[in-house]
Structure formats: C-alpha cells, structure tokens
Amino acid sequence: MSFLSVSAAAITFPFMQTRRDTLGCDALCQGGQTSLRSGLTLFGAILIGRASDRFGRLLMLWMGLAASLASLAISGSMDSITGMWYAIIPVALLNQNFSVVKALFSDYIDELGGTSADRAGAVGKLGMAVGMSFMAGPLLSTYLLSDYQQAIKVSAAVTLVSGVFIFFLPTPKSHAQQKSAAPSGMMAFLSLPVLRSRGAQLLMGLRLLMALAFHMFAPVWQVSIKTRFDFGPKDHAQFMGLVGLSYAISQGVVAKPLIRLAGKDLTWLLLGCILLLGGSRPLVLHTSSITVVYVLYVPMVIALGVMNTAITAACSSLANGDQLGGLFGVLESVESVAGLVGPSLGGLATAWNSELPLLVVCGCYGLAFLLVLIFFDKHVTCGSKRKQSSAKSE
C-alpha cells in the first residue's frame, strides 16, 4: 500500500517544474507553496496522528487516500496557479499516511510480542518500500508518459489501487480496546502526556536539529554542485536514484542488524551516524571530484536511514499505542518547522558569509552529538525501561 501510494505521488514529479514554468510560477511562487505545504503539514501531522490514536489507524489511512485523490482532482481540473495552490491543501493537511503506518506497524509488532529490533526491521522495510517508490514513480513517468495531465490520471489510478490493500489491513486488537476505552472531549483528544517526558523532548530536539541541518544545507548544496560539476537534469536524476537506492538499502537491509547489535542502548549507534553525517558535509561541499561525492553520499544516506529508524524505534519504546500516532505526528511537525525556517536561514547566512551555512550545519550536528552523548541513555533508554516496568505492574 505504501509503495503504491508514494509511487503515485512521485509519478507527477518529473512534470512539476515544466508545469510551474508554463503557468508562470516563479521562485517567489514556489517558495510560497513550499511554505504553505510545510505549514499545513505542521498542523496536519499532529491532528491526524492524534486522530489515529483515538479513531483508528485505518480510518486515517482512508482519509489520506481521499485527500490525495482530491488534490489530484483539483490539479487535473484547474490548470492555473490558483489550482496549484488549492491542490496543496488536502494532501498536505490530511495525508499523513507514512506516520500513521509507522504507528500501525508498532501496534502489530506489540501484538505479536516483538522486540525493538523487530520493530526497527519492520519500519525499515516500510522505509525501503517508500525509498523504492521514489525511484519507480519518476521512472514510470519519464519513460511511459508525455505530459502532466497523463501523469495526473495514472497517479489517480495507482492511488486507487493502493486503497485495495487497506481492505486487507487488520485492526490491532489492542488498539480496538484502547479506542473503546478512550475518554471523550477535546482536551482528552489533545492531551499527549508522553510529550512531558524528557525522552520525547530529547527526540524532538534531535529531529529539529537534524532537519534544520538538512534544510539549511540543501540550497547551498544545489548551487555548489551546479557550479562545480555543471549538473544537468540527467545528472540530478542519476544522483537522486543513487540516494533513493542507498536509503532503501539502509532501511531494508542495514538498520535492523545494526539496531539488534546495539541492543537496548542506541547511544553509540546514533553517535556514529551523527559523526558520519556531520563529518561528510564539508567534504562533499568542497571536493573537486564527483567520484568522492558519490562515494561519500552512499554512507551518508545509509547513516541517515539508520538514524531515522533508530529514532522511530525509540519513540515506540517511549509511548503507548494510544499516544504513539500523536508522537509521530509531533515529530513530523517538528520537521515541518525546520522546513519552514531552514531554507530562509540558509539563504540569509549565505548572503552574510558563504561559509556560514556550513558552519551552522556542522554546529547543529555537534549539538545533536552532545545531546545524545549526555542525555540519550538517561532519558530514552531508561525511560523505555520505566515504561516497560509500569506496563508489567499494570
């Protein structure tokens, strides 16, 4: 289901820039649309994540599918910049299916009595499916379709097919019991006690720092790789294909064995990932060899995938099923905040000093390293043990 739904969205990607150019959507227009998407995702991730805890994961998956179809219908029927703005709203606000499915995976693993390594492996396979979809969708679109309207129709068809698989997803028994016992009222809906724990706050801080580093680095990286290596569309397609494949491998093959090897305390695994990410950024930004860029980006992307999987596993160990969707939603919202402010901060820093964005990015990684080194074991690993002890006593 996840592979098909993300592939459906990715089918339209190769035609988006051409459509923006045709409709006259300039850099200011694109920046505004990016901010709108991030802002809506900021609220939607929390709303849908918490609703999946209260009303069921499957219902929210159906809502996400309907939101995707609504956005595609708007795009297909309104060939204008106004239509582009309207089409962002349903999918950015209501389609949070990746976070919902991660919470659903955790429900299934808990029901089967699985370990944190089992949970990481399951979520890793989910990430692998999504990574492969980012390659499959554009590949299908590039070789078989000729324009945006065709892409919209095929995307809608694939989205509908993905809905077939939702019919076969079982509702976890434990979640059905939680839903029937859930208190009513708006305050009960919004309440998320796990956010008061130091462990959850630490994970939120890590997500914010990592996302800020990414979004501040991205604009500088795009300009740099164009200047140094004269990257064209074909070069970008090859590079993104490598990134997608590396991320898929990290999620589906590498993450689970490393997390199993690390055991209950993921501190040193996270520290290694942060060192690899932070240490490689200056090298890929200043090397004059494209070979070095490709060689370094593979372990960088793998480290990112392993770290994301480890954080997801840590979330699942801190929050119960009736709060897990909300916690995942909050983490997605934290990334949206970084997506709102990161590119602008990166641009302002570049205007001040061309080397400043890289220094700030490395500073984000350095602060994340210190937070993990000092607090992760105390507040996340031990917090997980306290949660398990409490569950056993109940």
In a domain, 82, yes or no: yes
The answer to whether residue 323 scores a pLDDT higher than 50 is yes
In a domain, 181, yes or no: no
Express as a percent the part of the chain with pLDDT over 70: 90
| Model pLDDT, residue 391 | 44
Instruction: Write out pLDDT tens, residues 48-85.
Output: 988 888 888 999 999 999 999 999 999 999 989 999 99
**Domain hosting residue 83, numbered range:** 2-168+187-393
**Overall number of domains in the chain:** 1
d(CA 259, CA 267): 10
Instruction: Write out pLDDT tens, residues 115-153.
Output: 767 777 777 788 888 878 877 887 787 778 888 899 999
Residue 190 pLDDT level (bands cut at 50, 70, 90): low
Question: 131-140, 153-162, 283-292, 353-362: which has the minimum mean pLDDT?
Answer: 131-140
In a domain, 383, yes or no: yes
Token code pair at residue 71:
């956005």
Q: Once rounded to an integer, what is the mean pLDDT over residues 307-313?
A: 86
The answer to whether residue 388 scores a pLDDT higher than 50 is no
The answer to whether residue 350 scores a pLDDT higher than 60 is yes
Q: pTM here?
A: 0.75
Please report which residue ranges of the chain form alpha helices under DSSP H. 2-10, 13-23, 27-55, 57-77, 81-94, 97-111, 116-144, 148-166, 173-181, 186-190, 198-229, 233-249, 255-262, 267-286, 290-318, 321-352, 356-371, 382-393
More confident: 383 or 16: 16
Return the CATH number at 312. Answer: 1.20.1250.20
In a domain, 277, yes or no: yes
The answer to whether residue 188 scores a pLDDT higher than 60 is no
What is the rounded average pLDDT for all residues in the chain? 83
| Model pLDDT, residue 251 | 80
More confident: 90 or 28: 90
The answer to whether residue 313 scores a pLDDT higher than 60 is yes
